[in-house]
């Protein structure tokens, strides 16, 4: 009997009969088959039955090596139980099947049933065709699936296994098979409840289809997608540069639209990361995995212990010693990290020197956007990953950013704003700045007196966030000191580059197709 079958056929007997749970867990931990966090969670369970349920969830989600070593550890620590179970394996298997058949709707192997099928997936088409005719398929509720390896898609958290499946009505589904234990029960309910409550018809969120359960497992049926984000990005590397950029921009837009649809109904995701973005057969990116998402009831925050995946967390949630406030703005910061990941070809903005420093860099707001050259995209990301939650844009504001403008809107905005004072003054400040920089080491003397007055005047822009600065106060501070003039011009340059439309107007205008000729960027 395969070790996988031994474990799953004898689940009830193992939960009831194993008394030496922690010695088995110790052996798996020594072989690095249990993470420290998993080991701690098993130890923290309040009785041996729950400890064993938790341990089995890890074993079932592991590969063949984990199952084999668990079996060996079981023989060492529970030899008589293993002997009894092996002697009665066929009877136990039959008993489990009968038990499952007595639960919701019947679980078993439907004989001679050709399942309806509404083809949609391209990648999984041939495998689903096999499933329809496979005698090993089982039915749980209204869901058909098989545990054969060829139908296996991936492994999730908490012992979750994901298989290809079909509903009775022919809908293709991905089935999350989750072993029952107290921890998984809570996670399952957390994921199922918002999916059922939302029932969103969003093309950018993985759609809930159905659920079922038997004595040992929960089955959550979700919309079947083609691949995850990482695989899709690898495929895009083979495309021409222009086509790839367009495709990546669509992915960014899709992900943010999905997040907008969640935030519109006051749901926060709390686990945004590349693995939780899937691509459907229409090349739409969809947000997935709602096991950590929460509904905002009263107020605008959820108070929670640390949530999310390490390295993909908002700065305000990193301190796990106490409950922290997780808001929609927290989702926005992590979504900003994901936007950079997509546009940079798989980089993280807070991996400034080494990925080991990622959390430290998130805490300090120390990031680099060097792998995204388009300054408009940099501006978008910079706002989203701001260390101050209050300074981050809402998801609606994010989607209004110029990065997402089409050519017509870019053209209209540039025509309207091209003659604005701050746009024109940016050019003048740059000229003064360059003149002074070129004179460093010399003694320009009084020749710059007029430039001082000009630079002072150029700082008096209506959108200066520090308010209207009186010209006489600046003149008094600067006097005729060229060094102070340099400081003033440095400030002017920094102000112009970072705080005005001028920072990216050139990039925006260049990105418009050649047919757009008459941009009013300069005064006649």
Report the CATH number that the domain containing residue 146 is assigned in CATH: 3.30.200.20
- Pair (63, 148) in one structural domain: no
Question: Does the active-site annotation cover 280?
Answer: no
| Domain presence at residue 282 | yes
State how far the Cα of 11 lies from the Cα of 74, in Å rounded to an integer.
Answer: 13
Distances (CA, A) of 172 to 131, 132, 143, 168, 505: 11, 11, 10, 10, 47
Cα angle: 158, vertex 61, 101; to 5 degrees? 90
Containing domain of residue 274, as a range? 227-404
State how far the Cα of 387 lies from the Cα of 295, in Å rounded to an integer.
Answer: 24
- Pair (180, 305) in one structural domain: no
The pLDDT value recorded for residue 130 is 93
- Pair (212, 232) in one structural domain: no
- Pair (54, 154) in one structural domain: no
Q: Specify the DSSP class assigned to residue 445.
A: G
The pLDDT value recorded for residue 88 is 65
- Pair (358, 454) in one structural domain: no
Report the CATH number that the domain containing residue 17 is assigned in CATH: 1.10.533.10
The pLDDT value recorded for residue 19 is 84
Enter the pTM of the model. Answer: 0.65
Tokens describing residue 387: 């260390």
Task: Give me the sign of the Cα torsion angle 111, 113, 118, 123.
Answer: positive
- Pair (357, 477) in one structural domain: no
| Domain presence at residue 367 | yes
Distances (CA, A) of 488 to 350, 433, 442, 470, 499: 32, 9, 18, 14, 16
- The residue out of 204, 223, 242 marking a domain boundary is 223
Per-residue pLDDT of the chain (524 residues; tens, 9 = 90+): 566 678 777 887 888 888 889 989 989 988 888 888 888 888 888 888 888 888 988 888 777 888 889 999 998 888 878 887 887 655 444 443 444 444 444 455 555 556 789 899 999 999 999 999 898 899 999 999 998 889 999 876 655 789 999 999 899 999 988 887 766 677 677 667 666 666 667 889 998 888 898 888 889 899 999 999 999 999 898 877 778 999 999 999 999 999 999 998 888 888 899 999 999 999 999 998 875 555 555 444 444 444 557 789 999 988 655 555 778 999 999 999 999 999 999 999 999 876 678 999 999 999 999 999 888 899 899 999 999 999 999 999 999 988 998 877 777 766 665 555 545 555 555 565 566 566 655 544 445 555 555 555 555 443 444 434 445 555 555 555 555 555 655 555 554 454 444 455 555 555 555 543 333 333 33
Our count of domains for the chain comes to: 4
The pLDDT value recorded for residue 362 is 94
The pLDDT value recorded for residue 341 is 97
The pLDDT value recorded for residue 1 is 53
- Pair (284, 394) in one structural domain: yes
- Pair (326, 207) in one structural domain: no
- Pair (26, 77) in one structural domain: yes
- Pair (38, 85) in one structural domain: yes
Report the CATH number that the domain containing residue 373 is assigned in CATH: 1.10.510.10
The pLDDT value recorded for residue 259 is 95
Residue in 210, 214, 261, 271 annotated catalytic: 271
| Domain presence at residue 518 | no
- Pair (276, 354) in one structural domain: yes
| Domain presence at residue 416 | no
| Domain presence at residue 411 | no
| Domain presence at residue 470 | yes
| Domain presence at residue 288 | yes
Taking Cα atoms as reference points, which of 325, 6, 25, 41 lies closest to residue 158?
A: 41
- Pair (134, 33) in one structural domain: no
Q: Specify the DSSP class assigned to residue 294.
A: E
Within a 13 Å sphere around the CA of 499, how many CA atoms are in the beta-carbon half? 15
């Amino acid at each position: 009997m395969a070790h996988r079958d031994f474990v799953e056929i004898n689940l009830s007997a193992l939960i009831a009969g194993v008394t030496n749970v922690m010695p088995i867990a110790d052996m798996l931990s020594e072989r690095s088959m249990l993470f420290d966090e998993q080991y701690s969670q098993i130890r923290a369970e309040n009785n041996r039955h729950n400890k064993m349920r938790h341990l089995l969830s890890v074993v079932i989600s592991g590969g063949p090596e984990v199952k084999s070593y668990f079996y060996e550890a079981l023989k060492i620590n529970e030899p008589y139980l293993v002997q009894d179970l092996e002697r009665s394996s066929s009877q136990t298997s039959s008993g489990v099947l009968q038990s499952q058949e007595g639960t919701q709707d019947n679980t078993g192997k439907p004989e001679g049933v050709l399942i309806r099928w509404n083809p949609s997936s391209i990648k999984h088409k041939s495998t689903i065709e096999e499933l329809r005719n496979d005698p090993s398929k089982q039915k749980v509720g209204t869901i058909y699936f098989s545990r054969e390896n060829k139908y296996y898609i991936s492994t999730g958290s908490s012992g979750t296994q994901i298989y290809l499946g079909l509903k009775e009505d022919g809908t293709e589904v991905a089935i999350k098979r989750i072993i029952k234990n107290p921890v998984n029960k809570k996670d399952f309910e957390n994921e199922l409840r918002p999916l059922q409550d939302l029932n969103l018809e969003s093309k950018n969120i993985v759609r809930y289809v159905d659920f079922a359960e038997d004595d040992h497992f929960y089955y959550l049926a979700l919309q079947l997608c083609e691949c995850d984000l990482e695989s899709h990005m690898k495929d895009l590397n083979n495309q021409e540069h222009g086509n790839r950029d367009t495709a990546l921009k669509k992915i960014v837009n899709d992900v943010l639209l999905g997040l907008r649809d969640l935030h519109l109904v006051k749901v926060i995701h709390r686990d945004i990361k590349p693995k939780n973005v899937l691509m459907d057969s229409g090349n739409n990116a969809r947000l997935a995995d709602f096991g950590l998402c929460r509904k905002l009831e009263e107020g605008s925050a959820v108070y929670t212990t640390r949530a999310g995946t390490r390295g993909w967390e908002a700065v305000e949630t990193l301190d796990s010693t106490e409950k922290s406030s997780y808001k929609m703005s927290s989702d926005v910061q992590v979504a900003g990290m994901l936007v950079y990941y997509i546009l940079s070809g798989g980089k993280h903005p807070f991996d400034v020197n080494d990925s080991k420093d990622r959390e430290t860099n998130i805490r300090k707001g120390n990031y680099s956007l060097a792998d995204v050259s388009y300054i408009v995209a940099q501006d978008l990301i910079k706002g989203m990953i701001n260390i101050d939650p209050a300074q981050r844009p809402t998801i609606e504001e994010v989607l209004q950013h110029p990065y997402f403008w089409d050519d017509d809107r870019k053209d209209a905005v540039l025509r309207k704003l091209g003659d604005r004072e701050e746009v024109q003054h940016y050019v003048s400040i740059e000229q003064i700045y360059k003149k002074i920089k070129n004179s460093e080491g010399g003694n320009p003397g009084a020749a710059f007196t007029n430039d001082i007055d000009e630079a002072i005047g150029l700082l008096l822009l209506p959108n200066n966030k520090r308010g209207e600065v009186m010209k006489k106060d600046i003149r008094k501070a600067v006097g005729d000191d060229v060094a102070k003039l340099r400081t003033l011009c440095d400030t002017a340059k920094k102000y112009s580059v970072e705080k005005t439309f001028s920072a990216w107007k050139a990039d925006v205008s260049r990105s418009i197709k050649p047919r757009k000729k008459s941009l009013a960027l300069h005064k006649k």
